[in-house]
Amino acid sequence: MQGLYPTIWQRIGADRHFSGAATWRLPLKKGPATTTTLLLFFVFVFAAFLSSSWINSSFSSIFTHCMWYYFNLQSTFSATKGIKEDIIILKHQRKIPKRIEIPLNCSTGNETQTCPSNYPTEKSETEINDDPSSNSTCPDYFRWIHEDLRPFKATGITRDMVERAGRTAHFRVVVVKGKVYVEKYRKSIQTRDVFTLWGILQLLRRYPGRLPDLDLMFDCDDRPVIRSSDHHGPNATAPPPLFRYCGDQKTLDIVFPDWSFWGWAEINIKPWESILKEIREGNKRIRWMEREPYAYWKGNPFVAETRKNLLTCNVSEKQDWNARLFVQDWILESQQGYQQSGLASQCTYRYKIYIEGWAWSVSEKYILACDSETLIVKPKFYDFFIRSLQPVHHYWPIRDDDKCRSLKFAVHWGNNHKQKAQAIGRAASDFIQEDLKMDYVYDYMFHLLNKYANLLNFKPEIPEGAVEFCSETMVCNAKGLEKKFMMESLAKGPSITNPCTLPPPYEPHVLGVFLRRKTNSIKQVEEWERRYWESLDKKQ
């Protein structure tokens, strides 16, 4: 275990007093329809009160991912849906059981930091809100959990399969009796591994005693590696189950939320919960109609050919493809304290382009959160939530083989169908605010890990080289932004609500219909695009 994150724990006796900076919000679960009347009443009472506080808005910063010295930035701000959530909070406040907060127990002076032995490890030790209305069904994208685990369903998962997944893994996580043990294989890019592990530890603080024993391999690199073609046919070996941040059509890697949900210290991206709140508060500083009527992108073009190719669509003296494209210089930004990257100026356009880099890009959720219409250049990769989004409803599809003409038409269409374009932007930002809030990110991890653990047909044991991990060993001696983000994203104590209920797997024909609908909407847009260009060519 030597050499594992020396920056975090080989420091002794750092500060032991923390002021919990984390936002600890009341759980927002969907209420039953019968409370509508009550809700309406509150709407009227509070609308007047709240509306005055909406006027001021603050902005939120953000941005993205990729190879470690190159980044791509986008920033966002978005509409709030404050009123609805405030009301739901009111409705639930009456019945909420007492929330227990369990502070970190950081050791004093030169003592070695240990993991606390008194953290609850059983569900019964924590108070759970058993009010039936607190049970809610998880958003639809949770259904992909079943799809991602399908390749392992027939055979189950053996220890050998897990160990084979170790070939490219950065670390192995073993949970035994509610405690987490980590075996480190190699250093990841930046602090991806640190914040991913931190996220898993927070999941356990949130739902103590509710995760079964498990044993998994995690690869923090960008691109998926378990090719399905290698595990196909009569004599093929069973695929190794490998966790990572994104997948594609040809691979079987299991997708898991990326590190940035807990913060990206290297480029000053705060934990997701704080960002969502800022975005909510940012509430429409510039209304959609008043934004620049062009497609905007700012990022690092050097990570992928497709991005370099995108830059050819920039406006020039000779032509205007309705695109305004900029290069992000992260080194310069960091020297200037990221003042540019956090600017509202990035959300002053009606249309924002999302384009993949070396693989999927972390920038995706920040772009979608902005109230602008997102133009997605045909992606090759998927993360854990994107598969449930529908083209033309949540975003506008852009061809990857004819980007400039495709962009020009997308913007033209939006500016001629302003209500619809605005609605597309709003559908995406609603999805991000509601279905991708931190509670659901944890619930996704919870269900994925539970289902995964159910497939193991061996009893997980603590590997020889593994070390016990807990929030204390990670954060007590951490410094700087790493410490700040960890404290901010700390789960202060066990959740008082159950996780949402996992929806069943897609019926094969329902999944078929869903995917066909997606393909057809994209085809429809391509057809509109073709006709648009045909009519323009005729005029000339």
Binding site for ligand NAG (CB under 6 A): 105, 107, 109-110, 114, 116, 118, 132, 135, 233-235, 311, 314-315, 325-327, 498, 501
Closest approach of ligand NAG to the CB of residue 326, in Å: 5
> CA-CA distances (angstroms) from residue 456 to 85, 197, 462?
39, 21, 15
Q: Is residue 536 helix, strand or coil?
A: helix
> CA-CA distances (angstroms) from residue 300 to 156, 188, 396?
41, 21, 22
Question: Which residues 6+ apart lie within 8 Å of 398 measured at CB?
Answer: 353, 375, 376, 377, 378, 406, 407, 410
Q: What is the C-alpha separation between 244 and 219, in angstroms, rounded?
A: 5
**358 neighbors 304 (Cβ within 8 angstroms):** yes
Closest approach of ligand NAG to the CB of residue 343, in Å: 15
Q: Give the H/E segment covering residue 74.
A: none
Closest approach of ligand NAG to the CB of residue 218, in Å: 26
The residue (of 105 and 168) whose beta carbon lies closer to ligand NAG is 105
The residue (of 158 and 314) whose beta carbon lies closer to ligand NAG is 314
Closest approach of ligand NAG to the CB of residue 212, in Å: 15
Q: What is the C-alpha separation between 398 and 396, in angstroms, rounded?
A: 7
Closest approach of ligand NAG to the CB of residue 31, in Å: 14
> One-letter amino acid identity for 201?
L
Q: Where are the alpha helices (DSSP H) in 373-402?
A: none
Closest approach of ligand NAG to the CB of residue 445, in Å: 15
The residue (of 165 and 375) whose beta carbon lies closer to ligand NAG is 375
Closest approach of ligand NAG to the CB of residue 138, in Å: 10
Task: Return the CA Rg of the chain.
Answer: 24
Side-chain-side CA neighbours of residue 145 (13 Å): 26
Closest approach of ligand NAG to the CB of residue 96, in Å: 16
Closest approach of ligand NAG to the CB of residue 538, in Å: 30
> CA-CA distances (angstroms) from residue 348 to 85, 297, 344?
26, 11, 7
Q: What is the C-alpha separation between 117 and 131, in angstroms, rounded?
A: 31
Q: Which residue is nearest to ligand NAG (CB)?
A: 132
Closest approach of ligand NAG to the CB of residue 143, in Å: 17
Closest approach of ligand NAG to the CB of residue 134, in Å: 8
Q: Burial code of 192-217, b = ≥16 C-beta within 10 A, e = fewer?
A: bbbbbbbbbbbbbbbbbbbbbbbbbb
The residue (of 132 and 508) whose beta carbon lies closer to ligand NAG is 132
The residue (of 57 and 473) whose beta carbon lies closer to ligand NAG is 473
The residue (of 326 and 533) whose beta carbon lies closer to ligand NAG is 326
Closest approach of ligand NAG to the CB of residue 302, in Å: 11
The residue (of 103 and 337) whose beta carbon lies closer to ligand NAG is 103
Q: What is the C-alpha separation between 150 and 173, in angstroms, rounded?
A: 21
**338 neighbors 312 (Cβ within 8 angstroms):** no
Q: What is the C-alpha separation between 178 and 212, in angstroms, rounded?
A: 7
Partnered with residue 184 across adjacent β-strands are 171
The residue (of 135 and 168) whose beta carbon lies closer to ligand NAG is 135
Q: What is the C-alpha separation between 271 and 269, in angstroms, rounded?
A: 7
The residue (of 404 and 428) whose beta carbon lies closer to ligand NAG is 404
Signed CA dihedral, 42, 46, 48, 54: sign only = negative
Measured in whole angstroms, how far is the alpha carbon of residue 477 from the centre of its chain? 27
Partnered with residue 469 across adjacent β-strands are 180
| Closest among 407, 400, 381 to 307, alpha carbons compared | 400
The residue (of 234 and 508) whose beta carbon lies closer to ligand NAG is 234
The residue (of 233 and 508) whose beta carbon lies closer to ligand NAG is 233
The residue (of 35 and 135) whose beta carbon lies closer to ligand NAG is 135
